[in-house]
Structure 1
Amino acid sequence: MTRIIAGRWGGRRLAVPPRGTRPTTDRVREAVFSRLDHGDFLRGARVLDLFAGSGALGLEALSRGAAHATLVEADSRAASVLRANARDLGAGDAVRIAKERVRAFLSRDGSPYDIILLDPPYDIARDELAAVLAEAAPHLAQGGVMVLEWSSRAGSAPWPDALAQTASKAYGETAIHYAEPRGDAPHAELEGTAHGGSVEA
């Protein structure tokens, strides 16, 4: 089991798939969402959670004030678990669940998102991850932020030219990388969102 850390559902437990996924630890999730929350990235945000697993990232975003979260997960067992988690929290129409492969979803979806969260398998091939990031980049709204959780042993994130990395931090075996559209004004840290906030370390 894992849990929602803060917000309207803070403390509520979430089921996790029996195997095949790697839930983000509470420590890492708190670091990510504290950064995003501090800068008001979350309030009213449209969130896309790719490789969603139990849905913990997307549901945490909703708990902290996001308006809508789309959760994409190809594994049938994991998709069933995240559906149950969303139902048990009473998320209702604030959640859309897509049970399909990430690249297939990105190829057909035309929606813009303020926050895109990616937690792919750590053993994903670098070329495959680079392709996913390149295909996800056009879905990121100006002023938005993309957050990638990946193995800290894997080195730098393979961002496409359309995105510029704004921050990166390792937490043991996990590294969190942040990027924003290159067309946005340059920032030393995550500053400026579709909602007019800023994020500081």
Structure 2
Amino acid sequence: MRIIGGQFRGKQLSPGKKFTARPTTDFARESLFNILRNRIDFEEVVFLDLFGGTGAISYEMASHGCRDITIVEKDNKHYGFIRSSIDELKISRLVSAIRGDVFRFISSSRRKYDLIFADPPYELDNISEIPEKIFARELLSEDGILIVEHGKNTDYSTHPNFSELRKYGSVHFSFFEIKTEV
């Protein structure tokens, strides 16, 4: 896995061959960060990475200057890799890694985030509930963005907070924002 931009651009992190998490492809990650560059100030964003997996998106955020990152990952092996990568990149002052269930984290968190990225397993039974739970708990700041990575079989287009879909090969990003009544 390679960091594609910012301060750590080109840095390789290797989770090993037996690692089961699927990192977001370089192409999709680069495309996503091209979009984000035009929408957010990385240095000012409070970022939440749900289903952290390898932590690739969080390392990109840190590499682009984000100074407040929370990663939630349930799997012990994945969490261990995230912790070791945080140490290797020397970003422990920027990143808080939590080993735990994402849905429990959502239901207990009281913090607001400017950018939330969720990359659940594509075949997760309750993948469709992620946006609803985040909006119900009001975890997104007023001008915040929620991005859910998913496969082609998931469709969020009817969600009231859905704003757009971007497709990069087999990787789909659904964007959500708080909609204000007019």
Q: TM-score, normalised by structure 2?
A: 0.91
2:96 aligned partner, one-letter code: R
Equivalent position of 1:129 in the other structure: 127
1:149 aligned partner, one-letter code: E
Asked if the contact 1:15–1:85 (Cα under 8 Å) also holds between the matched residues in 2, the reply is no
Which structure's relative contact order is higher, taking Cα pairs within 8 Å and 6+ residues apart?
A: 1
Equivalent position of 1:31 in the other structure: 31
Q: Distance in 2 between matches of 1:48 and 1:92?
A: 15
How far off is 1:41 after superposition? 4.2
Q: Distance in 2 between matches of 1:159 and 1:10?
A: 37
Cα gap change, 1:159/1:11 in structure 2, threshold over 3 Å: closer, same or farther?
A: farther
Structure 2 spans left out of the alignment, 5+ residues:
none
Establish whether residue 3 from structure 1 lines up as the match of residue 2 from structure 2.
Answer: yes
Q: Distance in 1 between matches of 2:67 and 2:158?
A: 27
Structure 1 spans left out of the alignment, 5+ residues:
186-201
Asked if the contact 1:45–1:65 (Cα under 8 Å) also holds between the matched residues in 2, the reply is no
Establish whether residue 176 from structure 1 lines up as the match of residue 173 from structure 2.
Answer: yes
Percent of matched pairs sharing the same residue: 27
1:120 aligned partner, one-letter code: P
2:134 aligned partner, one-letter code: A
Equivalent position of 1:113 in the other structure: 113
Q: Distance in 2 between matches of 1:122 and 1:113?
A: 23
Cα gap change, 1:16/1:157 in structure 2, threshold over 3 Å: closer, same or farther?
A: farther
Equivalent position of 1:196 in the other structure: none
Question: What SS class does the counterpart of residue 43 from structure 1 fall into?
Answer: helix
Question: What SS class does the counterpart of residue 92 from structure 1 fall into?
Answer: coil
Q: TM-score, normalised by structure 1?
A: 0.83
Asked if the contact 2:67–2:95 (Cα under 8 Å) also holds between the matched residues in 1, the reply is no
How far off is 1:5 after superposition? 0.8
Q: Distance in 1 between matches of 2:68 and 2:14?
A: 21
Asked if the contact 2:44–2:67 (Cα under 8 Å) also holds between the matched residues in 1, the reply is yes
Cα gap change, 1:66/1:159 in structure 2, threshold over 3 Å: closer, same or farther?
A: farther
Q: How does 1:56-67 map to 2 (within 5 A)?
A: 56-67=56-67
How far off is 1:51 after superposition? 0.4
How far off is 1:160 after superposition? 4.9
